[in-house]
Amino acid sequence: MAELLGEMQNPLAAPGPREADVPLGFRMLVAGGFKRVEDCVCFRELFDHDHATALPRYGDATGYEASMNAQHVEDHLPRGAAREPVALAVAARSCAVFLLRSLRAFSDEPFRVIVSVSGRQSTIRFHRIRDNESWLAPDLDGYGEAVLVLGC
């Protein structure tokens, strides 16, 4: 699985996923745009609460963004789509590259897109890259699931 997710050195230099490879529900979420709230960037469609009370619960802006922007890839797949780990990893990788390209079009700030695949579940999330803040553990090999990290 890790080989399938692969380590993409420069995902923006490679050809992007075909639009048909990115589930429609996820394309619609990303097409809704992003919203900047203080030092954070969130999916516009999902941001509907008072950030002033929510942000302190997460400890830092990176944790807040990573939590607010978490999406289950399988929730965006069409009915009948394969949900086996390999098929899910392919869909998640396409979503990650699509999301990273959209974030780059939104802002010149550096972002990190994180994908995890475990069994028939896959989560994709993003956050801005900030000094002295990381949502990930330093050792990716310590995770029990396959993990893909893209950044620009």
- Where do the structural domains in the chain lie, given as residue ranges? 19-151
For the question of whether the overall pTM of this predicted structure is more than 0.85, the answer is: no
- Phi-psi group of 38: left, alpha or beta (phi > 0 → left; psi -120 to 50 → alpha; rest → beta): left
Structure tokens that stand for 102 in this block: 């959209």
Which is higher by pLDDT, 114 or 152? 114
The β-bridge partners of 128 are 111
pLDDT score at 101: 93
Residue closest to 58 by CA, chosen among 146, 4, 8, 130: 130
The β-bridge partners of 87 are none
Overall average pLDDT of the 122-127 stretch? 93
Overall average pLDDT of the 9-15 stretch? 51
The β-bridge partners of 146 are 117
Please count the other Cβ atoms lying within 10 Å of the Cβ belonging to residue 113: 23
pLDDT digits (tens, 9 = 90+) for 35-59: 988 788 999 987 765 555 566 677 7
Rounded Cα distance, 152 and 103, in Å: 9
Rounded Cα distance, 133 and 22, in Å: 30
Structure tokens that stand for 84 in this block: 């086996």
Average pLDDT along the chain: 81
